[in-house]
Amino acid sequence: MAEHPFDPVTLSKIANMELRAKLVADAVLTGIHKSPYKGSSIEFLEHKEYSPGNEIKHIDWKVQARTDKYYVKQFEEETNLRCYIFLDASGSMGYKSTGMSKYEYASALAASLSYLLLKQSDLVGLIGFADTAQRFIPPRSRLTHFHVLINELVMLKAAGKSHISKILNEFVEKVSRHSLIIVISDFFDDMKEMMHQLKSFQFRKNEIILFQVLDPYELTFPFETITYFESMEDDRRVLAEPKTIKERYLFEINRFIEQFKHQCFENQMDYWLVNTSAPLHQTLINYLARRKSALYPFLKI
């Protein structure tokens, strides 16, 4: 039986991130082909009375003929999206049970989103971080910028401690207003601080989308034998008998997810839980289908 081309395991074997991102983006585009939201990228929005300084070529002569006044057309291209993708590259993102690690999945997700956005001439920037910002690629809209992003994503390795709120705080001033902030992380950090910083972004009229990437083992905890669980970010380790601890663990992690989700909802942030066992393109399609309101204004596809 032929292997599904977009299975996470298969994808993990594809070293070329660019190819991977394009495959995912193409699949997404194919998947949303029948979407009622497709249209031109430069659309007429409204008329505005001419004032000195306006370009003459934008004067709507038909209106002038009817009304004897000069009006200039205003176009939607003025709403070009500026997107910042915050990609968590801390040690915990390196966790991998089967197939792709969380980081691999997250970077593929970031690359796919970048491709989609760049393809419609939006500006896409990237901040790869752990406890500090390891990479910052300012937003550009050229398609060649995609290669830069891909290179950075490939260069980044999951390592170090995670400190999301600190990074957010660092970039809250640097990020332009009315930008789209996409944070891809497992969000294993202090929830209160994170929300505080995210709200700061929101305050600056930024739209926030949060992708919480978790491994299926983190969600189901299927361990059987007595195991030393070692932290991926520091030296902590714990010897535990999984059968004993499973119930309690699942309760704790689900409570965290639910609380995070609830706070996102309360603060009108778009939250999406991503399980790395799910095919990436399917994750995107599902997300776009459900959360059209979040991305639609920006994705003119």
Judged by the rule CB under 8 A, the positions of this chain that interact with other proteins are: 91-95, 102, 186, 188, 214-215, 217-218, 223, 225-232, 236-241, 244-245, 248-249, 251-253, 256
For other proteins, the closer of residues 147 and 237 by Cβ is: 237
Cβ proximity to other proteins, 91 vs 128, nearer residue: 91
Separation of CA 43 from chain center:
26
Q: What is the DSSP letter of 49?
A: E
User: Which of residues 39 and 222 has its CB atom nearest to other proteins in the complex?
Assistant: 222
CB 92 to other proteins: min, Å:
4
Q: Work out how close the CB of 126 gets to other proteins at its nearest, in angstroms, rounded to a whole number.
A: 22
Give CA separation, 180 vs 3, 112, 154, in Å: 36, 15, 23
Give which of 83, 234, 101, 194 is closest to 156, Cα–Cα.
101
Q: At what angle do helices 280-290 and 17-31 cross, to 10 degrees?
A: 40
Question: Hey, what amino acid is at 160?
Answer: G
Nearest distance, CB of residue 119 and other proteins, angstroms: 32
Sign of CA dihedral 200, 205, 206, 207: positive
Q: How far is the CB of 102 from other proteins (least distance, A)?
A: 7
Residue with tokens 């991305």: 295
CB of 24 to other proteins, least distance (A): 23
Q: Which is nearer to other proteins, 118 or 232 (CB)?
A: 232
Distance CA 187, CA 218 (A): 13
Sign of the four-CA dihedral 125, 128, 132, 133: negative
Nearer to other proteins, 75 or 223 (CB): 223
To other proteins, the closest distance from the beta carbon of 6 in angstroms equals 24
Rounded to 5 degrees, φ, ψ at 146 are -60, -40
Least distance from other proteins to the Cβ atom of residue 233, Å = 8
Specify the residue, 18 or 193, whose C-beta has the smaller distance to other proteins.
193
Residue (112 or 185) nearer to other proteins, CB = 185
Give the DSSP per-residue string, 63-90.
HHHHHSS-EEEEEGGGG--EEEEEEE-S
**How far apart (Å, rounded) are the C-alpha atoms in residues 88 and 142?**
24
